[in-house]
Structure 1
């Protein structure tokens, strides 16, 4: 069954320099302001037949603020960053520079003890490909920016390293159309 899936990156929960791995903080003031400013352009997302979200607090708050009331999907959680969870990249790089280098260079390793990049992309891809939907049904998912990036890698069948080349800013939206294993990026 062919469907349309719009992925919306949640509003921010911290300044860029304080972004933490697997962050579960609520929206910060700037995030709330961005949702209020962006709401008129995003209000149409509430017309989607199915509405999902990553289980984090910021995805919940973003979805509810936009009137989507999305259902939490554990499979849409951020990448499991193991012992790096809650730390910034600069903190981890100062303590484990070789591990950070290996993680950025090899998508199959998980020096932090969590998920490798390929395992993360695979998990998100499995969720994409197993969505039950009626023909031509519209699905919306409020996700972590990392989930949006992983979904694009899977849908476009790019090598895992392409993940690092995708910028997913807060409240960025992309739409995929298609069926399991046959996704197309829709630029409208």
Structure 2
């Protein structure tokens, strides 16, 4: 049985310079504008049999603005950043530079006391693998960019370190087809 899962990256909630770990803000003014601009392309995804979102304010607001009426999925939350929650990478680097280096180099490490990158990718993979597989069924889920990156790494069975090399822009989509343990990345044409 094959299911089609479309992951939509949540709207922008802050500039890259003020982005914080586990930030739970609603979309900013630019984010709302981008949702309105992308709506003609994304609203048709509302036809999916199952509609989910991460439990974050930004993901819920993005999904609701697109008319998805989603069910929040705790498994779609971003990586648990432990004591670094609410801080910027610059702030953490200024105080714990060695811990940041370890975190970036070793996907099994969690110097912040939260979740390791490897555990995060595995959690997102487990969520993908446990989606109800109604043959030909479709699912849409709105989540933070980090979740979309983790899903891509999982599906491609790529080394966890490749997570850092994937750039997921707000409101971009990742389409996956398949079933538990057997996923394909589906690139779509603009037409």
Native 8 Å contact 2:133 2:179 kept in 1: no
How far apart are 1:43 and its partner, in Å? 1.3
How far apart are 1:102 and its partner, in Å? 0.4
Partner in structure 2 of residue 177 of structure 1: 177
CA distance in 2, matches of 1:11, 1:123: 22
- TM-score normalized by structure 2? 0.97
**Count of residue pairs the alignment pairs up:** 188
Partner in structure 2 of residue 33 of structure 1: 33
Partner in structure 1 of residue 136 of structure 2: 136
Q: RMSD in angstroms over aligned alpha carbons?
A: 0.6
Runs (5+) with no aligned partner, structure 2:
none
CA distance in 1, matches of 2:141, 2:183: 16
CA distance in 1, matches of 2:177, 2:87: 35
Partner in structure 2 of residue 156 of structure 1: 156
CA distance in 2, matches of 1:118, 1:160: 6
How far apart are 1:132 and its partner, in Å? 1.1
2:82 corresponds to 1:82:
yes
CA distance in 1, matches of 2:26, 2:43: 21
Partner in structure 2 of residue 94 of structure 1: 94
CA distance in 1, matches of 2:145, 2:61: 15
CA distance in 1, matches of 2:159, 2:143: 21
Partner in structure 1 of residue 66 of structure 2: 66
Partner in structure 1 of residue 107 of structure 2: 107
How far apart are 1:22 and its partner, in Å? 0.7
CA distance in 2, matches of 1:159, 1:51: 29
- TM-score normalized by structure 1? 0.99
CA distance in 1, matches of 2:7, 2:28: 21
For residue 178 of structure 1, give the secondary structure of its aligned residue in structure 2: strand
CA distance in 1, matches of 2:184, 2:108: 26
1:21-55 deviation per Cα after TM superposition (whole angstroms, max 9, x unaligned)? 01111111111111011111111111111000000
How far apart are 1:115 and its partner, in Å? 0.3
1:63-98 deviation per Cα after TM superposition (whole angstroms, max 9, x unaligned)? 000011111000001100000001000000011000
